[in-house]
Structure 1
Amino acid sequence: MIVNATEFKTRAGKYLEIVEKEEIIITKNGKEVAKLVPIIKNGTPNADFLYGLLSDFENKDITKKQIRDERINKKYENID
């Protein structure tokens, strides 16, 4: 969603509720100046980052342990 700064200032409470569901871009004089993004409340930032790294991984029902094991295996597989 894109909203201008004046509208955002006038109805900040409304946009704080909306940002829980989607990103909000704030513009000033027609230029993008800020971006509000929802905070991810599930999991941990590290796990979320790792899920992003494995976006091409076929099995989307992967556990944190599987991600950790995959990282460890890749780290040590080329050591002679």
Structure 2
Amino acid sequence: MLVTATEFKTNIGKYLTLVNEEEIVITKNGKGVAKLSPLKEDKVKMVESLFGIIPDEMTLEQAREERLKKHEHID
């Protein structure tokens, strides 16, 4: 659903209720500036978005280790 910033500001309660049913894109001057989505994430949808990111030959443990290595700080 698209809604202008003015409309969102005027009727915030209405949109906080509607967000449980669909994402709300807030626009300003005809351009999207923010997206309001429900806090509860659809875990299946989230996992599906990761398909293709981890190579088939890599195990989940290897992917986890690689991710952790990127965040290690070497002093």
TM-score range, shorter chain: 0.5 to 0.7
Instruction: With the length of structure 2 as denominator, give the TM-score of the two structures.
Output: 0.58
The list of structure 1 runs, each at least 4 consecutive aligned residues, that deviate by more than 6 angstroms after superposition, is: none
**Same amino acid, percent of matched pairs:** 51
> Per-residue CA shift, 1:24-49, capped at 9, x if unaligned?
00001111100001122676xxx763
* Alignment: residue pair count: 55
In 1, Cα distance between the equivalents of 2:32 and 2:45?
27
Segments of 5+ residues of structure 1 without an aligned counterpart are 55-72
1:50 correspondence with 2:34: no
Segments of 5+ residues of structure 2 without an aligned counterpart are 52-56, 61-75
Say what the alpha-carbon RMSD is for the aligned residues. 2.6
| Secondary structure of the corresponding residue to residue 35 of structure 2 | strand
Instruction: With the length of structure 1 as denominator, give the TM-score of the two structures.
Output: 0.55
| Secondary structure of the corresponding residue to residue 25 of structure 1 | strand
